[in-house]
């Protein structure tokens, strides 16, 4: 399988990991739309949300509930968008949940490097 997220899960491609357990990996998006753009991906390959069972879906959202407030606090974000793409809008065909911080200053793009943001978030 030539899935970039499976390669990340298997350690074949490096990533900036914010959270990991037996079911999921939360990483910084390599091409962030905004500062703090985070992806929660299941370690098992599911093409899209239609394939997820209730247990993994619940777990992904439990991780989002844990990470979201922390990301917002550390980056001084005022809101958080949770996004799931499906169909043609899903670029990587491995289910993933986007956590996209929203800022009061109307920042709509990433302004800092992923390394700078990772240093803030990793603790």
Number of domains, the chain: 1
Q: State pLDDT tens for residues 45-98.
A: 999 999 999 999 999 999 999 999 999 999 999 999 999 999 999 999 999 999
Active site residues: 96
- In this structure, is residue 103 part of a structural domain? yes
Separation of alpha carbons 63 and 69, rounded Å:
11
What residues contact residue 66 under an 8 Å CB cut-off, 6+ apart? Answer: 19
- In this structure, is residue 83 part of a structural domain? yes
Q: How far apart are the first and last CA of the chain?
A: 33
- In this structure, is residue 1 part of a structural domain? no
What residues contact residue 73 under an 8 Å CB cut-off, 6+ apart? Answer: none
Torsion angle defined by CA atoms of residues 9, 54, 84 and 70, in that order, rounded to the nearest 10 degrees: -70
Q: Do 100 and 53 form a contact (C-beta atoms < 8 A)?
A: no
Q: Do 6 and 13 form a contact (C-beta atoms < 8 A)?
A: no
Q: State pLDDT tens for residues 52-64.
A: 999 999 999 999 9
CA 38-42-43 angle, to 5 degrees, is 115
Domain hosting residue 102, numbered range: 31-121
- In this structure, is residue 48 part of a structural domain? yes
Q: State pLDDT tens for residues 5-25.
A: 999 999 999 999 999 999 999
- In this structure, is residue 84 part of a structural domain? yes
- In this structure, is residue 17 part of a structural domain? no
- In this structure, is residue 50 part of a structural domain? yes
Report the CATH number at residue 40. Answer: 3.30.428.10
pLDDT band at 109 (very low <50, low <70, confident <90, very high): low
- In this structure, is residue 39 part of a structural domain? yes
């Amino acid at each position: 399988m030539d899935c970039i997220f499976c390669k990340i899960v298997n350690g074949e491609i490096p990533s900036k990991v914010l959270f990991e357990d037996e079911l999921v990996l939360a990483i910084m998006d390599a091409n962030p739309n905004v500062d703090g753009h985070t992806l929660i991906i299941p370690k098992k390959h599911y093409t899209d949300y239609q394939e997820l069972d209730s247990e993994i879906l619940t777990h992904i959202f439990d991780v989002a509930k844990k990470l979201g407030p922390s990301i917002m606090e550390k980056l001084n974000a005022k809101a958080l968008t949770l996004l799931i793409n499906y169909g043609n809008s899903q670029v990587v065909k491995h289910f993933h949940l986007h956590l996209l911080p929203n800022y009061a200053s109307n920042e709509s793009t990433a302004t800092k490097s992923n390394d700078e943001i990772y240093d803030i978030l990793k603790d």
